[in-house]
Structure 1
């Protein structure tokens, strides 16, 4: 998609242009989970949306890139930075004009340039604990490598590529256009200057074959779903001396059966009985560091939050950890037998308003409202 056709990055993340960094991060996390390929298998539209969201976040989460984007739009963040002025090599406009005039006047003979390898993407699913504390994973990456049968020439063993008869090895053809002598890339050899008459059976004339390599990925502590890890030079192999592409590892964190995460805090809801809430008790609760004893004071209400500082998720590329929050959920008993029912009815009969101050306060306010 051309830059002019791209959706506005703020619209992509569904935020206002004056959104804070925290709002941008929150929007990205929500959309990344919604459109993640693992949740939308086979949905090309969702896959494309996921890529657009990642691209938008990569720009808007970086203060310098965001400032350039706000001033110059997509042209300000495509292809690096600006030159000191004009349409030089560092300018995004330089590439535009180079594409138009480079072929016409023969400024960029394509056959003489190395081609950079393709960037690759790998979706890596890890557990909640692995995301919290980091992990090293071995992954198998498919890629195109130089064909050893023909040494990358594309020609069958014992033969060699022939000089292109159309451009005579120049990679370009010239013709007269008005007052100008115009050069265009040779369509017969695609600018290579040579053609393969007898293709190599191993690579079918392409000069490369599919293979796979095993690499190690170090996932840092504190990652979340949607985080992209860049491994420079681990992508597709370059040709004609071109550099290798990069590998982008996109993280997907599996849901935990007990914990959930908000920023760097871990939240866990613990059910307790009415008697435990009323009389107080000591319970054992799970944390990322193992089981910990927690004192529940008497009179604890449902929804009360107990904070264990420093037992949450480590900060990504930072210092310290979040907190572990335990939310007490008072469970109302069900399937009572007759004796249990009688005891509860007796308790209700002898209980005064002092035993339920919240209820007393609520009904007092309701009476004032309707009086």
Structure 2
């Protein structure tokens, strides 16, 4: 088992878990399990306890099923596809070493944020009038906090704002985080009267 993880002791006390094939026994393939984590858990780290069932050998050579709880320390900055292996904690079969269990990190979809490497992206909808005349926005952060962002520019398609240090934690630099990139979705009016159309034309015709 790597240094980042630890597990509870087995409920059995009369059997020995074999951690290597130094005795010449064949090592069976790893048992692979998916571990789903939220963006918050992957950004800030967490402890996850996982119940497993596995086949074990008794002292009489019988195979019985055993329940165990494995404790996984998810470190800040882990990504989808990160693997964490518990050696010798998989199924036992006669004539082989105990299999390893490998947990593969998966990422739950977040309703607001999207991960892009070490950065996060959020899309904010703006009425066209705010995009043209400027506005003050409330920007959400992954930790639940919010901040105010004042925009004086004209927001055009593709316009972005970046807030440094509000993205994901970096795996090898846990005190450092990526950026939060803000994209904008413009809300156009669904209907204009002839008078409004004329006024818009008068205002905008010389603006390009």
**Number of equivalent positions:** 184
Residue of structure 2 equivalent to 1:345: 197
Following the alignment from structure 1 to structure 2, what is the Cα–Cα distance between the partners of residues 234 and 248?
9
Q: CA deviation at 1:271?
A: 0.8
Q: CA deviation at 1:226?
A: 2.1
Following the alignment from structure 1 to structure 2, what is the Cα–Cα distance between the partners of residues 113 and 239?
13
SS of the residue aligned with 1:275?
helix
Residue of structure 1 equivalent to 2:33: 122
**Which of residues 160, 171, 189 is equivalent to 1:333?**
189
Following the alignment from structure 1 to structure 2, what is the Cα–Cα distance between the partners of residues 218 and 352?
57
| Structure 2: segments with no counterpart, 5+ residues | 1-22
TM-score (norm 1): 0.45
SS of the residue aligned with 2:129?
helix
**Which of residues 83, 100, 107 is equivalent to 1:253?**
107
Note if contact 1:225-1:252 (Cα within 8 Å) is conserved in structure 2: yes
Following the alignment from structure 1 to structure 2, what is the Cα–Cα distance between the partners of residues 291 and 113?
59
What do residues 295-319 of structure 1 show as CA deviations (whole Å, max 9, x unaligned)? 1214222321100001000112334
Structure (1 or 2) with the greater helix fraction: 1
Q: Cα distance 1:251–1:268, how it changes in 2: closer, same or farther (>3 A)?
A: same
TM-score (norm 2): 0.77
Residue of structure 2 equivalent to 1:263: 117
Structure with the larger RCO, 1 or 2 (CA within 8 Å, 6+ apart)? 2
| Structure 1: segments with no counterpart, 5+ residues | 1-111, 154-206, 358-371
Following the alignment from structure 2 to structure 1, what is the Cα–Cα distance between the partners of residues 201 and 30?
73
Structural RMSD (CA): 2.4
Note if contact 1:143-1:211 (Cα within 8 Å) is conserved in structure 2: yes
